[in-house]
Structure 1
Amino acid sequence: MGSPLVVVAGPTGSGKSHLALALATRFQGEIVNCDSLQIYRALDIGTAKTPVADRGDIPHHLLDFLEPTEIFNAGGYAKLARPVLQDIAARGRLPILAGGTGFYLRALLDGLNDGPVRDDGLRSRLLARKGSLHRLLVRFDPITAQRIHPNDRNKTLRALEICLLARRPASDLFRAERQPLQGFRVLKLGLNPPRRLLHQRIEARAHRMFESGLMEEVRQLLAQGVPPGAKAFESIGYKECLQLLDGHLNLAQAIELTTIATRQYAKRQITWFRREPDIHWIDEFGDAPLAVQRAFALVAEFTHTSP
């Protein structure tokens, strides 16, 4: 039947880390990060990384292993994550995958080839052209275009890059070379708190990020030689902070734009995970007692242990 693997998914701000910690504590688990930004060292405040002091004695994997200047992708994540899961299971522990990067989760569970390597020259030419990149992707690969939000420039750009370099639709390439995860049976838990309350938490978190040292975190990274154009600085919160430090935004504007962008990202995450099959949805935040109770019951039944 395979070893048990628990997934905790959902939009940003929904309490995935809290629930994953509760599950790991109760079921002798170890947490495997599935967030495409928490893989970077020194990006702590803006990525809402669980502080080390709050992790207790629960091992966390695939956190802080890349420099902010490094480029990474879903295929690379799957290659790294699979042996980590196997090692955790081999030691009799429960692997708990936690994070909101749906493409990483799909690559890990369903398989995804890296595709052609990044071509910065091609990317520059695509970005310099007039017209919508997403409309161009519709022409080359309508299947992939349907899966990507028109405003998601990074995914659209990568899909176009693959189509042009591989001389075939990205959907064809990945379908032909997909290798699903073997040796595990998977329980997927999805957090879906009320949208109004989620928006309130997102706004509060944006304020807290800037008030608790995000600007200093960015200043330190810049002082260490991380260029403003680094991949990690393209993420929500960090790009607004750079504009704040450059004088293009004031503090209130930076917080407002971060809040708006995070709400939009959360909406895209919800749409993505709604398409993910076999998710057990919990309509609460991950730190709500009812959510923890419901998750405990599901995992206990899944692993054949007492809740």
Structure 2
Amino acid sequence: MGNGSNELAFTVGLAVIEEGTPVVLPRPMFSLYEMIVRLHGGRIHAVAPRPDLHFDVEGLLEAMRRHRPALVVLTTPNNPTGRAMAPEDVEAVVAAAPGLVLIDEAYVEFADGVGARPLLDRYPHVLLLRTFSKAFGLAGLRLGYLVGHPDVVRELYKARIPFMVDRLAETVALTLLRHLDLVQQRVAEIRAGVQWLYRELAALPDVAPVPSQANFVIFRTPLEPDVLLARLAKDGILIRNMSGYPELRGYVRVNAGRAEENRAFMVALKKALAGDETP
């Protein structure tokens, strides 16, 4: 257990990466991982995505053959795209990896299937990273967990500082785990909201959403993101500009909320796209 999955990811970097260590990272993905590699002096070998924004599995396999990385990181479903890797693609990467494979499943509860958990029984070099921040709604309390082979986890413990999980986060998490029906109900509502948002966005002319297995949808419109965000903000709607990722220039991201919030977003979006900026 850790103080959020970020702390655990940092611990993996501290244990595995030193000056010149090769690390293979697909793009685009959660920017924390690139920061961790650079912080510890590792060498990043980034693999660009396919045109549909799925990870390029063949490109990852080739990068591993060429660079023999000590660490490969996969995020599935992926932040920032919402795309999920097919189980056979994840296993292909794992089977070919010469070092550790860290699989970040922060959004797995929103996705179809069970994630990469079955791989742990067959591949001792797999590390599975999950969080209580998304489906469990505990982002402010900071609690994550990492699962791996005992021999590997024992080595990671040597690199981490103690006392990273506080009593309040522990108590709240244990309480939620005793009420999984509530969590599952909320996840079902969010998944339905994501599907509704995708259908509504896809029905708009010149709006291009990307199918998502997370709790958000990214999409492009004819407007520049900064213009769109400013227009939506006037109606109290806040979404995120994803153009900081080179592969996502022009994209914005909306998180699924309650049904009434999703409807309010769509009303404001249609108004913004029509150029109606009246209060």
What's the TM-score once normalised by structure 1's chain length?
A: 0.32
What's the TM-score once normalised by structure 2's chain length?
A: 0.34
Greater RCO (CA < 8 Å, at least 6 residues apart): 1
- Give 1 or 2: higher strand fraction: 2
- Give 1 or 2: higher helix fraction: 1
